[in-house]
A and B are shown apart, each in its own frame.
Chain A
């Protein structure tokens, strides 16, 4: 199928690390993205990784890509209340300008 799959919910304690997982289907995907959506707002591009990379780190964010398993993860270190949002995984296939989005993971932070 064409689905990009994510779990719907994740709850973590403030200060812990959050790991949001995603699986995609197309091995020809060139770029994989993580978007963040805060309540009542549009999607904001957080980070991306090119398909020939295994890992990308940007401050508190670490993206890991396992091409063999078509698995992408986003790790947020030292999770804060401001990280509460819906996180969307997305893949861009080499043949198109379209991006395929997952259904989003709602991250909630508990004290």
Chain B
């Protein structure tokens, strides 16, 4: 089974802090994704990565950056945390294959609160 592990289930930080959310997958997947989930808005894609050191902006990248130095690890960085970044953050990974069945596998999420 694919295992996607997010480093923290719950995190509380202060406004202005630099925050790191870590995600590791154990299935050698090429693609990794960061989403945030807010009530009534579903999942919104922040950033994704197709390969090591590659990154692409998603739908809501403002206020975030990412790092993919190793294939199995994808980090989400909040450069200067703000209260509107309080949310549930979900990491996912998938194998490459634009025309084939390659679903995304999700971690359990990190509930981040910015005070």
Q: Measuring CB to CB, which residues of chain A are less than 8 angstroms from any residue of chain B? A: 8, 30-31, 33, 35, 40-45, 48, 50, 88, 92, 94-99, 101-104
Complex A-B: 8 CB contacts under 8 Å = A42-B4, A42-B90, A45-B105, A48-B103, A88-B43, A97-B50, A98-B45, A101-B43
Q: Is the CB of A97 within 8 A of B97?
A: yes
Give how many B residues have a beta carbon under 8 Å from the other chain's beta carbons: 26
Q: Is the CB of B109 within 8 A of A42?
A: yes
Q: Is the CB of A8 within 8 A of B106?
A: no
Q: Measuring CB to CB, which residues of chain B are less than 8 angstroms from any residue of chain A? A: 4, 31, 33, 40-43, 45, 48, 50, 90, 92, 94, 96-99, 101-109
Given contacts A41-B108, A42-B108, A43-B90, contact A94 B42 (CB under 8 A): no
Q: Which chain B residues border A48 with CB–CB below 8 Å?
A: 101, 103
Q: Which chain B residues border A42 with CB–CB below 8 Å?
A: 4, 90, 106-109
Among B40, B96, B104, B109, the residue within 8 A (CB) of A99 is B104
Bound-complex Cα distance A41 to B48 (A) = 21
Closest residue on chain A to residue B109 by CB atoms:
A42
